[in-house]
Amino acid sequence: MNLPPDHPPVPKPRIGVLLMNLGTPDAPDAKSVKRYLGQFLSDKRVIEIPQLLWQPILRGVILNVRPKKSAHAYAQVWREDGSPLQAITTAQSLALKDRFGSGVLVEHAMRYGNPSIPDKLAAMKAAGCERILLAPLYPQYCAATTATANDQAFAVLAKMRWQPALRTMPPYHDDPDYIAALHASIDASLAQLDFEPQRIIASFHGMPKRTLALGDPYHCHCQKTARLLSESMGRPITIAFQSRFGPAKWLEPATDLTLAALPAQGVKSVAVVAPGFSADCLETLEEMAIRGRETFEEAGGERFAYLPCLNDSDLGVALLEKLVARELEGWQRPA
Ligand SMILES: C=CC1=C(C)c2cc3[nH]c(cc4nc(cc5[nH]c(cc1n2)c(C)c5CCC(=O)O)C(CCC(=O)O)=C4C)c(C)c3C=C
Ligand SMILES: [Fe+2]
Ligand SMILES: [Fe+2]
């Protein structure tokens, strides 16, 4: 059939994969951090108190105090190619692109900041993606991370006349391939240390405690990951929750309090892992690797190691390839 002369070009149908992570400021300065935090902390999936109460606190207090402090923290871990989260997520998507070849368009986007989910979905549609897999890079499901990323993508499709078909990648907290990748990655990192840690601590990002009672599976997913990892490794693993924010009660035990208490219990050497983060970021590199170490050593700890996330390592990318390929099953890969 011939198209009318004024018909827009029709691209070849393709499959798209959109890796989605949390996001990060554009630069490690207070102005960029303020813009990022303003968007992040206005998300009703993240701060679940009435906006009428919250916005004056956010605009009046938090966005005037926190950006400077956070910018300082970001500056300590910033790389030549940007924030660690940005650089690593980009590397993950490039590596996956290589593995899938030209039939699958692999992109990445951030829930807050850049590149944005709306921009990337528009570009993927323009590139002919009729089927798109949304892949939130969070092993443990949490409304404040997984759901809000998917929500934003759904909102983009709500405005499209001709929508692509969508799938979402499920959480993979108990996937044997994920546990095996963590195990292998931790073993490789431990083999490079000049000490054998008495204790391995799995530190997950925290959440307000009330989300547990409200039905969020995040806490259970974290517990299951830690248990499976411990069974796989044949050694105990201490679970803890980091990055407490605001005055509400958060999941316990807190990582910083755990690190401060261990030396008095005779635990003088630890290795900290962060299995809930698919990429190293401010929360792992500054809060754990720098401040976590300080906390432990100030309390009398002698040896501390922070072990990296799966990131864009061979193990990490092979895991992502498996998880994504599984979700693409039944979707033909056009030549
Ligand atoms: C991995 C899962 C994450 C959950 C669950 C999560 C919940 C959550 N976070 C905040 C507040 C902040 N988080 C911040 C940074 C941050 N958080 C995650 C992941 C989860 N957050 C990542 C990967 C990052 C790092 C981003 C980076 O640029 O490297 C920050 C910003 C930094 C700071 O100022 O400290 C805040 C604030 C809440 C309130 C919350 C639960 C509802
Ligand atoms: Fe967070
Ligand atoms: Fe933090």
In the chain, what are the domain boundaries?
14-172+316-328, 176-306
Q: Do domains 14-172+316-328 and 176-306 have the same CATH topology?
A: yes
Q: Answer whether 181's CB lies under 8 Å from 316's CB.
A: yes
Nearest-CA residue for ligand 1 atom 13 is: 243
Length of the chain: 335
How far is the CA of 83 from the CAs of 59, 90, 115, in angstroms? 25, 11, 13
Question: What's residue 6's pLDDT?
Answer: 85
| Ligand 1 in reach of 219 Cβ (< 6 A) | no
Candidate of 22, 65, 89 to mutate for ligand 1, largest count of ligand atoms within 8 Å of Cβ: 22
Residue 108 tokens, joined: 């990445």
* Nearest ligand, measured from the Cα of 256: 3
ipTM of model: 0.95
Strand partners, 112: 23
Residue 275 CA to ligand 3 centre (angstroms): 16
d(CA 95, CA 85): 15
Measured in angstroms, how far is the CA atom of residue 131 from the centroid of ligand 1?
A: 30
Q: Any idea what DSSP says for residue 102? A: T
Give the closest ligand to the alpha carbon of residue 89: 1
Distance of CA 323 from the midpoint of ligand 1 (Å): 24
- Half-sphere exposure (Cβ direction) of 88: Cα atoms closer than 13 Å: 26
> For ligand 1, what atom is nearest to the CA of residue 282?
29
**87 - beta bridge partners?**
none
Averaged pLDDT in 10-residue chunks for the chain of 335 residues = 73 88 98 98 97 97 98 98 98 97 94 98 95 98 98 98 97 98 98 98 98 97 98 98 95 98 98 98 98 98 98 98 97 62
Secondary structure (3-state) at 107: strand
pLDDT number for residue 20 = 98
pTM: 0.95
What does the pLDDT read at residue 4? 81
> What per-residue confidence (pLDDT) applies to 252?
98
Contact 25, 32 (CB under 8 A): yes
Evaluate: CB of 277 within 6 angstroms of ligand 1: yes
Per CATH, the number for 176-306 is 3.40.50.1400
φ, ψ (nearest 5 deg) of residue 23: 115, 170
The per-residue pLDDT for 226 is 98
Mutate to test the pocket of ligand 1, among 282, 284, 288, 291 (most ligand atoms within 8 A of CB): 282
Q: Atom 28 in ligand 1: which residue has the minimum CA distance? A: 24
Say yes or no: CB of residue 66 within 6 Å of ligand 1: yes
Q: Quick check: CB of 238 below 6 Å from ligand 1?
A: no
Cis amide prior to 11 (ω within 30 degrees): no
Atom of ligand 1 nearest to the CA of 33: 34
Q: Which atom of ligand 1 is nearest to the CA of 287?
A: 35
C-alpha 145 – ligand 1 centre gap (Å):
9
pLDDT of residue 156: 98
Domain 14-172+316-328 has CATH 3.30.310.40: no
Q: Binding site for Fe(2+): residue ranges?
A: 205, 283
Three-state secondary structure call for residue 247? coil
